[in-house]
Chain A
Amino acid sequence: MASLFQRRRSKATQVERVRERRHEGFLRYAGFRWAKISGGLCLLIIVSYALIDVTPRHNGGSWYGYTLGTIGAALILWLTALGYRKRKMTRDHWSLKAWTSAHVYLGLSLIIIGTWHTGFQLGWNVHTLAWALMMLVILSGLYGVIVYATLPQALSNNREQMTQMQMLEAIRAFDRQLHSAAQPLTPEDTAPVLAALDEDPFAGGIAARLSGRYPNCATAAAYRALSASRSSDAEARTKVVGLLSQKEAALARLREHLRIRALLEIWLYVHVPLTFALIAALSAHIVSVFFYW
């Protein structure tokens, strides 16, 4: 009972300030705070690049180039830390939304920081490899921002309050009903139904998952075959056809769900490995620069 009677608020009590009640997405966070910071930074770089006269010319090796390079490398490491921040549930106050917001806008600012760091001197070497990898990481991240901003609604509309487990359960329920309803059918009609029962709703590979097209769907095939068939008892067949069309609808919902989720996740399989490739190339770039100093 002790805690009930805590008279004086302990330090661990949450103050109102830390309770996230404002309803705003990561892009709009704190009135576009990070967009403004990152935009200001880019502007500063573009203007100072034009005003500062570096001899013989702007390149990565000048004092100005080193400054931008250091900022860029530090930023890349910090941006990578999001993956750790997201998973490390420390007990102090932080908001992953704020981190994401900063990650997105500061990440975009790397286009300017990185490119202006090069002094527009690109070539076929490890230095440009690091730049190119960085640009690819940013591009994949841009895709991520776009799908995060546009797809959640579609995901919500498609699932209509059902969970993924419930979608699978619904398909299994239709399978069980099909199994008993198909008993009176002729062997000729039973074969496609059995094929539909054996179908794995997850099968089809990455292309099918992303496109949402399953041309070899056994349930659709069974539906077509039985709708056209005249061999079994009409009443039993109508019931099976009805169940097959219901199962098809349930499958379509699940597949659309998986498709949207795949679109929301697939870019991470590019973004994250490329980030590590980038860090490797960046290390090579930095080491080689100091080696030739």
Chain B
Amino acid sequence: MSEAVKVAIIGSGPAGLSAASRAGQLGMSHILLEKTDHLSDTIFKYQKGKRVLATPERLDLRSDCRFAEGAREYILGNWDEDAANNKVQVAYHAEVAEVSGEKGAFAIKTTKGDVYTAENIVLAIGTQGNPNRMRCEGADLPHIIYQVDDPEDFKDRHITVVGSGDAGIENALGVAEEALENTVTILNRSKDFARAKAKNVADMMEAGENGLMSIRTETQPKKVEPGFLTLETPDGDETIPCDVIVARLGSVAPRGFVESMGIEFTGPDREAFPKLSPIFESTVPGIFVIGALAGYPLIKHCMNQGYDVVEFINGNSDLTPADEKDLAAIFEGLPKKKSVSEWLEYLRTRVSIFADVSPLQMREFMLDSKVAFYRKGDVVFEKGEPGSSLFAIADGFVEVEVGPGVIVPIEQGSIFGEVGLISGRKRGATIRAGADGIFVEVSRTAALKLMASVPGAKRAINRISLERQLLQIFKGGLTVDDLGPVVDTAEVERVPAGKIVLTEGEQGDDVYVIRSGSMVVEKDIGGKPIFLRYLPAGSFFGEMGVLSGAPRNATVKAAVGAELIKLTGESFRKMLAARPQVREATEAAVAERAQMNSFIESRKASYSSAVDLYSDTASFIMKEGLGEATDALLIDENLCVGCDNCEKACADSHEGLSRLDREAGKTFAHLHVPTSCRHCEHPHCMADCPPNVIHRGPDGEVFMEPGCIGCGNCMRNCPYGVIRMEAAPPQKPSLLRWLLTGFGPGPGEPSPKWTKKQLGDEKPKKIAVKCDMCKGIAGGPACVRACPTGAAIRVSPEEFLSIARLDEDTD
């Protein structure tokens, strides 16, 4: 057992290294435990020469180690120097197996059997977990890699992929791209590929049939040598040439290890983080958690936290976090002068949904939020404006224009804007400040994080949103009190895409409100389901059954994955009985829908083929996932001459890269859905963006602000394949010069060959590129403006599937 230290830091990544450096600078006794033989293993394993970005730019670095954007080698070199200069005590090959004891006397046992004692522990182990290593002879050779950052780094090599899960297959498919001219082999220990997604397996089999890779089942590596790999096959051993081995054998997530120390997490789901105090202390006194494991995936955050946590352990209670000045800037414009912590406390005590939020979480939410002072009568937002942020009233009150002349107040402490947050649709009503007041605007990402980590806040937001949604549907004839019984019996149901919620002809009187997602209404006419209507989030259905008691007269199914609020028929009927004017409004809506149904039915009789085409087109549009779109590019192939001017215009309106692929995508009845962003109601790309740079803009566009770190999460999360990872090409010569002298690549995205020639050996960082609907360009989307024949249009599904179109088509 070695001498006891004040703090033991587990993990030597940016967070751990920065913590150890601070301890070194303070002269605090410490030990930095690293399981490998080098510092910062995650970055060490990056490809050679890979650029590491230093985002967010606005955040100052506070660390004893240097960090600025640069190549992997440069950053690692700096850190090695800094560690030495700061007199960091490192124990290499120290993989922690077990932690016991309590604050003041922890015992940390490594897998080698060494025991370190420490008063405090800083956990900075990241979230990557430990990839399972290869276990055969030669498994420690350097040409075995555990991740593939960029398949294009491999050209004309013999590559063997070990492991047949999704990660392995995806890597193999990446490097097997024909243009790279690699010889790719994928090994599977068993006979079938049971662990991978069917789509991946099918793609792999196709690549195998096309001779792009060889797939070897019941085969495993036996011996690794430089340049060769010996395989154990059913027919005996075989040696194949092999320059690179990609081992994707799964990994062990760190959560189990963290929980074994007694540290509690905020919840059971995968996104949960350890519960932490404002000084990063976990639920076990003396154990501090920082970095990615604490929910901060960016390098700069990690390094700042490393510095801060050691200062806290050293008893520095006056230290304000590095983001203090950013928070101060957020509160700057407010009339009252308070310190940052006073403001945070003010908001926490005055807004009900912030009541359960810890001070540390509060800081984080506020960084993604804005506080503003509004004068009486100021418009906060207008009806029909896109927006998905959540507002909270810290002071004053607001007035909601529910209908013409109908004004409903929302009191201090409550929230508004939650419908936009939950449904992802445009604002449902105009909101004005009712008195001079202070409102907090929480961005969608921060609000979703708040709901995920603070159950009380989630319950409050959900209840309020349901009440408001109902109030809005029934246009003011109701009060919150009337809704009490309805809301109490309401249940939230999640339905997957394609699931039938109501079946035509069945009995039932439940009423549904669409919380998010969308539905399609179909009716069986002449033995064929005919599309009647598209129901966006915020609409309701099933009300005919309650009013008439008759069986359902149409089938309703989910166009995309959706959330429904089910209201029991009984409570709904009671509410209608209590409020006759609401009953009237509902009956009017029912009559309108019935009229539209009979219109389509009558058209069916006279213009059967037009109605069939309309119905089939609608089904196609839904199948292509446009049910969750807010604004999609469609191409009429009756008019498209294939000039690709849309793509060229897109590239030239941006930094030289086209964000759409006209030719790719599905077509039905000459209606083509090209590969381009649809600006989903709930964008999949936003789900997991570490630097949080994907937002929704004022025109409803989903765009990326600068600061992408090139991780590719958004690209993988987009089900429609519309995000590219690409580096901007160099500046082209001007159009006039090209027209007159032919110099340069001409309009549109330059060919990779031209770009490569211009760049030489430079390899710029690839970042995510997606459609921003020509944000900030007054003329509107370039793809549509530049279409010479009028084939390209941008529409939302409800515009496209409106009854007016059917009318147009049959006339």
A-side residues, CB < 8 A to B, are: 1, 3-7, 9-14, 18-26, 29, 83-84, 86-97, 99-100, 148, 151-153, 155-156, 159-161, 163-165, 172-173, 176-177, 180, 261, 264
- Residue of A10, A26, A97 most packed against chain B (CB within 10 A): A97
Nearest Cβ distance between residue A138 and chain B, in whole angstroms?
18
Q: Which residue of B lies closest to A257 (CB)?
A: B642
Does the CB pair A86–B786 fall under 8 Å? yes
Does the CB pair A156–B637 fall under 8 Å? yes
Per a CB cutoff under 8 Å, which of A19, A100, A164 touches B794?
A19
Does the CB pair B640–A156 fall under 8 Å? yes
- Residue of A10, A163, A164 most packed against chain B (CB within 10 A): A163
Using Cβ atoms and an 8 Å threshold, which residues of chain B touch A88? 735
Known A13-B699, A92-B779, A163-B663; judge A5-B441 contact (CB<8 A): yes
Does the CB pair B389–A96 fall under 8 Å? no
Alpha-carbon separation in the docked complex, A159 to B645 (Å):
19
Q: Which residue of A lies closest to B58 (CB)?
A: A1
Does the CB pair A92–B778 fall under 8 Å? yes
Known A1-B443, A3-B705, A151-B641; judge A14-B699 contact (CB<8 A): yes
Interface window among B299-307, B465-473, B546-554, B647-655? B647-655
B-side residues, CB < 8 A to A, are: 178, 209-211, 368, 370, 372, 389, 441, 443, 636-642, 645, 648-649, 652-653, 661, 663-667, 670, 672, 695-699, 705, 735, 739, 746-747, 773-782, 784-795, 799
Known A24-B790, A153-B637, A153-B670; judge A91-B777 contact (CB<8 A): yes
Using Cβ atoms and an 8 Å threshold, which residues of chain A touch B739? 83-84, 87
Does the CB pair A18–B779 fall under 8 Å? yes
Per a CB cutoff under 8 Å, which of B774, B778, B781, B789 touches A26?
B789
Nearest Cβ distance between residue B1 and chain A, in whole angstroms?
50
Using Cβ atoms and an 8 Å threshold, which residues of chain B touch A10? 698, 776
Nearest Cβ distance between residue B275 and chain A, in whole angstroms?
26
Known A148-B641, A161-B666, A261-B642; judge A3-B697 contact (CB<8 A): yes
Using Cβ atoms and an 8 Å threshold, which residues of chain B touch A84? 735, 739
Alpha-carbon separation in the docked complex, A3 to B702 (Å):
12
Nearest Cβ distance between residue A12 and chain B, in whole angstroms?
4
Using Cβ atoms and an 8 Å threshold, which residues of chain A touch B443? 1, 4
Does the CB pair A97–B794 fall under 8 Å? no
Does the CB pair A14–B637 fall under 8 Å? no
Does the CB pair B785–A20 fall under 8 Å? yes
Does the CB pair A155–B698 fall under 8 Å? no
Does the CB pair B368–A1 fall under 8 Å? yes
Using Cβ atoms and an 8 Å threshold, which residues of chain A touch B695? 1, 3-4
- Residue of A14, A21, A86 most packed against chain B (CB within 10 A): A14
Alpha-carbon separation in the docked complex, A84 to B636 (Å):
25
Q: Which residue of A lies closest to B785 (CB)?
A: A95
Known A20-B780, A86-B786, A91-B777; judge A155-B210 contact (CB<8 A): no
List the 5 closest pairs (A to B, CB-CB), nearest first: A156-B637, A18-B780, A93-B779, A163-B663, A97-B790
Does the CB pair B641–A26 fall under 8 Å? no
Using Cβ atoms and an 8 Å threshold, which residues of chain A touch B786? 86, 89, 96
Nearest Cβ distance between residue B174 and chain A, in whole angstroms?
17
Using Cβ atoms and an 8 Å threshold, which residues of chain A touch B790? 23-26, 29, 97
Can you list 23 residue pairs at the A/B interface with Cβ under 8 Å? A12-B776, A14-B777, A14-B779, A21-B793, A26-B639, A26-B790, A87-B648, A87-B747, A89-B649, A91-B653, A93-B785, A95-B784, A96-B645, A96-B785, A96-B786, A96-B787, A152-B638, A152-B789, A153-B638, A161-B666, A163-B661, A164-B663, A264-B642
Does the CB pair B670–A156 fall under 8 Å? yes
Using Cβ atoms and an 8 Å threshold, which residues of chain A touch B784? 19-20, 95
Nearest Cβ distance between residue B415 and chain A, in whole angstroms?
16
- Residue of A13, A152, A172 most packed against chain B (CB within 10 A): A152
Per a CB cutoff under 8 Å, which of B441, B637, B645, B776 touches A152?
B637
Nearest Cβ distance between residue B662 and chain A, in whole angstroms?
9
Nearest Cβ distance between residue A220 and chain B, in whole angstroms?
23
Alpha-carbon separation in the docked complex, A102 to B784 (Å):
17
Does the CB pair B698–A9 fall under 8 Å? yes
Does the CB pair A11–B778 fall under 8 Å? yes
Per a CB cutoff under 8 Å, which of B664, B696, B776, B791 touches A163?
B664
Using Cβ atoms and an 8 Å threshold, which residues of chain B touch A89? 649, 652-653, 747, 782, 786
Using Cβ atoms and an 8 Å threshold, which residues of chain B touch A164? 663
Using Cβ atoms and an 8 Å threshold, which residues of chain A touch B792? 20
Nearest Cβ distance between residue A32 and chain B, in whole angstroms?
13
Does the CB pair B372–A97 fall under 8 Å? no
Nearest Cβ distance between residue A52 and chain B, in whole angstroms?
38
Nearest Cβ distance between residue A87 and chain B, in whole angstroms?
4
Alpha-carbon separation in the docked complex, A1 to B58 (Å):
11
Nearest Cβ distance between residue B688 and chain A, in whole angstroms?
18
Alpha-carbon separation in the docked complex, A250 to B664 (Å):
18
Using Cβ atoms and an 8 Å threshold, which residues of chain B touch A152? 637-642, 789, 791
Nearest Cβ distance between residue A66 and chain B, in whole angstroms?
31
Does the CB pair B698–A13 fall under 8 Å? yes
Using Cβ atoms and an 8 Å threshold, which residues of chain B touch A23? 636, 790, 793
Does the CB pair A14–B778 fall under 8 Å? yes
Q: Which residue of B lies closest to A90 (CB)?
A: B779
Per a CB cutoff under 8 Å, which of B209, B735, B795 touches A21?
B795
Using Cβ atoms and an 8 Å threshold, which residues of chain A touch B210? 173, 176-177
Alpha-carbon separation in the docked complex, A89 to B774 (Å):
12
Alpha-carbon separation in the docked complex, A137 to B747 (Å):
24
- Residue of A10, A19, A25 most packed against chain B (CB within 10 A): A19
Using Cβ atoms and an 8 Å threshold, which residues of chain B touch A99? 788
Alpha-carbon separation in the docked complex, A161 to B793 (Å):
19
Does the CB pair B642–A86 fall under 8 Å? no
Q: Which residue of B lies closest to A19 (CB)?
A: B780
Q: Which residue of B lies closest to A4 (CB)?
A: B695
Nearest Cβ distance between residue B424 and chain A, in whole angstroms?
15
Alpha-carbon separation in the docked complex, A227 to B731 (Å):
55
Does the CB pair B779–A20 fall under 8 Å? no
Q: Which residue of A lies closest to B663 (CB)?
A: A163
Using Cβ atoms and an 8 Å threshold, which residues of chain A touch B641? 148, 151-152, 155, 264
Known A1-B368, A19-B780, A91-B779; judge A155-B642 contact (CB<8 A): yes
Does the CB pair A156–B672 fall under 8 Å? yes
Nearest Cβ distance between residue A137 and chain B, in whole angstroms?
17
Nearest Cβ distance between residue B746 and chain A, in whole angstroms?
8
Using Cβ atoms and an 8 Å threshold, which residues of chain B touch A97? 787-790
Q: Which residue of A lies closest to B778 (CB)?
A: A12
Known A86-B645, A156-B672; judge A94-B788 contact (CB<8 A): no
Alpha-carbon separation in the docked complex, A135 to B785 (Å):
30
Does the CB pair A100–B670 fall under 8 Å? no
Using Cβ atoms and an 8 Å threshold, which residues of chain A touch B735? 84, 87-88
Alpha-carbon separation in the docked complex, A84 to B366 (Å):
49
Q: Which residue of A lies closest to B776 (CB)?
A: A12
Alpha-carbon separation in the docked complex, A209 to B789 (Å):
24
Using Cβ atoms and an 8 Å threshold, which residues of chain B touch A180? 211
Q: Which residue of B lies closest to A6 (CB)?
A: B698
Nearest Cβ distance between residue B413 and chain A, in whole angstroms?
22
Q: A22-B793, A100-B788 are in contact. List 11 more A-B contacts (CB 8 A).
A: A10-B776, A84-B735, A91-B777, A96-B645, A97-B788, A148-B789, A152-B642, A155-B641, A163-B661, A163-B664, A180-B211
Q: Which residue of A lies closest to B782 (CB)?
A: A89
Q: Which residue of B lies closest to A88 (CB)?
A: B735
Known A12-B778, A29-B790; judge A94-B785 contact (CB<8 A): yes
Using Cβ atoms and an 8 Å threshold, which residues of chain A touch B779? 14, 18, 90-94
- Residue of A86, A100, A155 most packed against chain B (CB within 10 A): A86
Using Cβ atoms and an 8 Å threshold, which residues of chain A touch B639? 25-26, 152
Q: Which residue of B lies closest to A174 (CB)?
A: B210
Nearest Cβ distance between residue B541 and chain A, in whole angstroms?
27
Using Cβ atoms and an 8 Å threshold, which residues of chain B touch A19? 780-781, 784, 794
Q: Which residue of A lies closest to B698 (CB)?
A: A13
Q: Which residue of B lies closest to A97 (CB)?
A: B790
Alpha-carbon separation in the docked complex, A84 to B776 (Å):
23
Alpha-carbon separation in the docked complex, A148 to B790 (Å):
11
